[in-house]
Amino acid sequence: MEIISGDIEEAGLFLSGWLWIRGIPTNAVAKLVGIAQQARKIAADDPRKLIHSLKVGLALTLVSLFYYFQPLYSSFGVSAMWAVMTVVVVFEFSVGATLGKGLNRGLATLAAGALGLAAHHLATVTGKTCEPILIGLFVFLQAVASTFIRFFPRVKARYDYGMLIFILTFCLVSISGLRTDEILDLAQKRFSTIVIGASTCLTVSIFVYPVWAGEDLHKLVAKNIEKLGNFLEGFGREYFETANEKSHETRASMVGYKAILNSKATEESLVNFAKWEPRHGKFRYWHPWDQYLKIGTLTRECACRIDALNACLNSEMQAPLEIRRKMKEACTEMSWECSNALRELAVGIKTMTRSSPADPHMRKAESAANDLKSLLQTPMWPGSHLLDVCPAATVASLLIEIVSSTAKIADSVHELASLSKFKKPNAITPDQKENVTIIPVDNVNEGNVMIVVPHDNIESIDRSHQSSNE
Amino acid sequence: MEIISGDIEEAGLFLSGWLWIRGIPTNAVAKLVGIAQQARKIAADDPRKLIHSLKVGLALTLVSLFYYFQPLYSSFGVSAMWAVMTVVVVFEFSVGATLGKGLNRGLATLAAGALGLAAHHLATVTGKTCEPILIGLFVFLQAVASTFIRFFPRVKARYDYGMLIFILTFCLVSISGLRTDEILDLAQKRFSTIVIGASTCLTVSIFVYPVWAGEDLHKLVAKNIEKLGNFLEGFGREYFETANEKSHETRASMVGYKAILNSKATEESLVNFAKWEPRHGKFRYWHPWDQYLKIGTLTRECACRIDALNACLNSEMQAPLEIRRKMKEACTEMSWECSNALRELAVGIKTMTRSSPADPHMRKAESAANDLKSLLQTPMWPGSHLLDVCPAATVASLLIEIVSSTAKIADSVHELASLSKFKKPNAITPDQKENVTIIPVDNVNEGNVMIVVPHDNIESIDRSHQSSNE
């Protein structure tokens, strides 16, 4: 009996051990499949990441082979190393970041090289005893000062990498035991390799599917404003209607705003990169990048209010339907018109036109807010408890705040439009002319000009006229 | 007349030119004074930044002089360069960041060196024609794959620097035109210099005024919870009392919460650094660092509600004093008790004790919230307009949400306490014994134990008992 149970135990151990060993390849395969799926997802979400990888590979291969085939190239050459190092370290995702790092590296190397040379010279003329003491002192003082300067917020944002290279180059030059003319010779070689590396990076970065940080920032800000609009569009439907089948989809599209709450760091780094970028596409030199930060801050403020509104939507405390019905018209109008205004603003940013179509929506939203206020000014609705009114009142006042927040966003977008000279809404092209009516302006307002209006959009007088007043 | 005016003009130009030239030193001095003031402010706000700069200077001087005095050191030595480079690049503000970078650098150099050697060997055995093609191919494929892997979120968070060094080392080794044994010799030297550089960094970083990322994270999370408490303490006074002289000071201390809204990035990087750190102070290995992220998310959620509340405080639409007075008691109680609970939680985190003193405050806040709900359940106050009630109702429902948000924070802090085994509130020491009374537990609850209670704090039975139940 004992023998049998022992055998069974042994067999069991053996079996579990065998299953474990057999499980290794299965687990490994499952893990590899998981990684492959993740990789495919990353590439599908943003194909530019895959393209960037190919670009880095291209630049690196070019530089490596250039040095490999050089006639002077003998062994593990220091020069080749610096070029390869420059490519690996400088090549970043966007043109702005690459250019910023390249310039930082180049300029810091020059400045630190000159200063290091001076320090080295000063130390050598004092004689053999003082030399190491002086060099140690110079290295120490320079490292302390430069490291501390890296904590200055403005330096940290734009010149952090430059300061790092400054410290490095200064140390290398000043502790080198070479004669001044040897250092100069070496410095020249070193600098030319860095220039070769950096210019390979920049050429590949700019001419092969370039990724512009400025464009990304521009799109991100527009996208974020659109997300606010998406929430508000869904909100009117969700809060005042009974749940229907579409509900799940709508909810999913509504919570997109949550990403905005943590967008500050991304926006700031994009602005820093964008400032390095040369003129490209529709973006001129001195494009008002800082204005995007202002819009971003206002967008986040609005997203915070929307988050509170979302909490009301999911809260256990809900106003009864009859109370909601009383406010329904004004509230739906407010969220709908705000949503439209925000979307028009987003479209205006994306197409870089002055988005005055948003203004009529804003006016309607503001008048709906006033309607709501006067509705609330009527004496209390009899029979309703304050506890029932309370959540509805919260929604109402949050919506009122969101309207004023949207107005602020609209103002800052208009400011951006005028600062960066967005184009006016399209002038009428010759082939559109057949479809327009000419109406005397007296019908529109007090001016004495004739205005041409496309047949299919008489409403737009209001918009185009308004934009010309800006 | 003309001559005179010409003279005057010339004199004017001369004068303005002279003033401009004389202005240069003044402006330069003003700018320098500005920079000095900024530097003093940075150093005063966080003296550790100044200490860090001194530490970097120390480490760099040590390594530089070590190589300067080496007998084998002849010229601009490659070895010395690598040690200096390692110190400059690896030395970060906190121990965790330094250790993470050092390990990344070391391990990536080893792995890439081995792979690069294999690639190099494979290319050389295929013959002179195939060699450059194969090497180019290897460099390309490796760079593409590694660059793409850097986009994986988990790799980006912890191993980004390692991947960079991997690409660099692989390229350097595989394109080197050396024989395998030469490379091995070089690799050994290179690796030993990197180890010397990294260990100098770590020694200075750990033993000279260490900055622990984990400790910073711990303090930051506690501080943020405290800031929420500060707002709520001030809110009760500000909203329900008429303005008094203290108002400005209170307001200033209240808006501290705004920094919390954008704290996500800081917290995430601190968690990543903290995970590299060895056991130190009260933090063990496998300290539940991720739990801090959960608390941080809940804190930001609460800060978002508080931001909405702050908007109510500054809004133009204000409920009349008489309405506010009706809700005053319940609302003041809610914000006061929440504020106390949050502060107790913050103290609990700071001192690493189980902060059960927060629980009675939470219970009081929750019962006040119920009081408020039942107050609101009474029929409408006659004569008051809905527009007047509306802002008050918003404040009420926001406060109710904040109470539930605070309860969530309390739960997650308790979870942290049990996960990281915070100590129980102090056991009674012998010298406290004289001041305690022993009361039978029947007076407290159904248990059969005797409980000792300090004379001066009979209330605390409730707390200590409760904590022993956890």
Q: Which of A42, A57, A390 comes nearest B144 by C-beta?
A: A57
Nearest to B175 by CA among B141, B208, B142, B132: B132
Could you tell me if B152 lies within 8 Å of chain A, comparing CB atoms?
A: yes
B contacts of A140 (beta carbons < 8 Å): 57-58, 60-61
Residue scoring higher pLDDT (A129 or B386): A129
CA B63/CA B81 separation, integer angstroms: 10
Give the least confident one: A88-92, B213-217, B323-327. B323-327
The reported pLDDT for the residue numbered A129 is: 82
pLDDT single digits (tens) A141-168: 999 999 999 999 989 989 999 999 999 9
Closest CB from B377, B396, B398 relative to A385 = B377
Higher pLDDT among residues A380 and A287, named by residue: A287
- Interchain proximity B57–A265, CB inside 8 Å: no
Give yes or no for B160 touching A (CB within 8 A): no
For chain B, percent of residues with pLDDT exceeding 90: 33
Q: Which pLDDT band, with edges at 50, 70 and 90, does B229 fall under?
A: very high
Name the band, by pLDDT with cuts 50, 70 and 90, for residue A6. low
Which range, A154-158, A370-374, A449-453, is most confident?
Answer: A154-158
Of the listed ranges A275-284, B153-162, B292-301, B449-458, the least confidently predicted one is B449-458
Cite the DSSP H helix spans in A130-263: 130-149, 153-158, 160-175, 180-207, 213-240, 247-254
The pLDDT value recorded for residue A442 is 37
Which own/partner pairs from B216-220 qualify as long-range (CB within 8 Å, at least 24 positions apart)? B216/B94, B216/B270, B217/B267, B217/B270, B217/B271, B217/B274, B217/B289, B217/B292, B218/B283, B218/B292, B218/B349, B218/B350, B219/B350, B220/B263, B220/B266, B220/B267, B220/B270
Contacts of A85 in chain B (CB under 8 A): 168
Residue B379 DSSP SS3 = strand
Please tell me the predicted confidence (pLDDT) of residue B460.
35
Measured between CB atoms, does A311 come within 8 Å of chain B? yes
pLDDT band at A293 (very low <50, low <70, confident <90, very high): very high
In whole angstroms, give the CA distance from residue A235 to residue A227: 12
Q: Is B452 left (phi over 0), alpha (psi -120 to 50) or beta?
A: beta
Answer yes or no: are the C-beta atoms of A107 and A162 closer than 8 Å. yes
Nearest Cα neighbor of B140 from A66, A206, A203, A54 is A54
Lowest mean pLDDT among A28-42, B17-31, B61-75: B61-75
User: Hey, is the C-beta of A151 within 8 angstroms of any chain B C-beta?
Assistant: yes
Among A49, A264, A312, select the one facing B151 at the smallest CB separation. Answer: A49
Average pLDDT estimate for A451-469 = 35
Tens of pLDDT along A341-357?
999 999 889 888 876 78
**Terminal Cα distance for chain B, rounded:** 99
More confident residue, B99 or B438: B99
Contact yes or no for B151 and A42 at CB 8 A: yes
Smallest Cα–Cα separation from B221: which of B295, B154, B161, B165?
B295
Least confident of A111-125, A126-140, A234-248, A345-359: A234-248
Smallest CA–CA distance from B388 into chain A, residue = A377
- Terminal Cα-to-Cα distance of chain A (whole angstroms): 99
* B 225-264 residues with CB < 8 A to A: 261-262, 264
User: Does the predicted interface ipTM exceed a cut of 0.85?
Assistant: no
What pLDDT does residue B228 have?
A: 92
Dihedral pair phi/psi, residue B423, rounded to 5°: -75, 155
Q: Is the pLDDT of residue A408 over 80?
A: yes
Contact check, Cβ <8 Å, A379/B385? yes
pLDDT at A65 over 70: yes
Average pLDDT estimate for A254-268: 88
Is B114 an 8 Å CB contact of chain A?
A: no
pLDDT value for B439: 37
pLDDT band per the 50, 70, 90 thresholds, residue B172: confident
Selection from A74-78, A435-439, B158-162, B190-194 with the highest mean pLDDT: B158-162
pLDDT > 90 in chain A, percent:
33
Helices A95-125 and A78-90 cross at an angle (nearest 10°) of: 140
Q: Which residue of B177, B301, B386 is in closest CB contact with A376?
A: B386
Taking CA atoms, what residue in A is nearest to B78? A78
pLDDT in tens, A430-439: 444 444 333 3
Q: Pairing between strand A436-440 and B436-440?
A: unpaired
A 41-70 residues inside an 8 A Cβ radius of B: 42-43, 49-50, 52-54, 56-58, 60-61, 64-65, 67-69
Sign of CA dihedral B269, B271, B275, B281: positive
pTM of the model: 0.79
Question: Which of A46, A55, A60 would you mutate first to test chain B, the one with the most B CBs within 10 A?
Answer: A60
* Segment A295-309 mean pLDDT: 90
Given CA atoms A451, A454, A456, A460 in this order, what sign does their dihedral have?
negative
Nearest to B53 among A132, A144, A307 (CB): A144
pLDDT at A178 (0 to 100):
65
SS (H, E, C) A283-343: ECCCCCHHHHHHHHHHHHHHHHHHHHHHHHHHCCCCCCHHHHHHHHHHHHHHHHHHHHHHH
pLDDT exceeds 80 at position B261: yes
Q: Is residue B441 within 8 Å of B451, Cβ to Cβ?
A: yes
Interface test with A, best of B149, B189, B380, B398 (most A CBs within 10 A): B380
Selected residues 403-462 of chain B with any CB under 8 Å from a CB in chain A: none
Percent of chain B with pLDDT over 70: 80
Q: Looking at the DSSP assignment, which residues form a beta bridge with residue A385?
A: B379
Residue A186's pLDDT is what? 75
How confident is the model over B346-376, as pLDDT tens digits?
988 888 887 677 888 888 989 888 888 877 7
The Cα B437–Cα B433 span in angstroms is 8
* Among the ranges given (A355-359, B47-51, B129-133), the one the predictor scored with the smallest mean pLDDT: A355-359
Q: Which residues of chain A have a CB within 8 Å of the CB of B262?
A: 262, 264-265
Residues of chain A found within 8 Å of residue B135, distances taken between Cβ atoms: 64-65, 68
Question: Which chain B residues touch A38 with a CB distance below 8 Å?
Answer: 152
Residues whose CB is less than 8 angstroms from the CB of residue A32 and which lie 6 or more positions away in sequence, other chains included:
none
Q: At A92, phi and psi to the nearest 5?
A: -115, 175
- B284 or B53, which is more confident? B53
When pLDDT is cut at 50, 70 and 90, the band that residue A215 belongs to is very high
Query: Could you tell me the pLDDT band of residue A4, with boundaries at 50, 70 and 90?
Result: low
Mean pLDDT of A218-228: 93
Average model confidence (pLDDT) across chain A: 79
Q: Report the pLDDT averaged over residues B309-319.
A: 78
SS3 B312: helix
> Are B317 and A400 a contacting pair, CB within 8 Å?
yes
pLDDT tens for each residue of B376-431: 776 655 556 666 777 777 888 888 889 999 999 999 999 998 888 877 765 434 44
Query: Residue B342 has what pLDDT?
Result: 92
SS3 of B210, please?
coil
Taking the CA of residue B381 and the nearest CA in chain A, the distance in Å comes to: 8
Residue of B nearest to A39 (CA): B152
What's the average model confidence in pLDDT over A226-242?
Answer: 83
Average pLDDT over chain B, rounded to an integer: 79
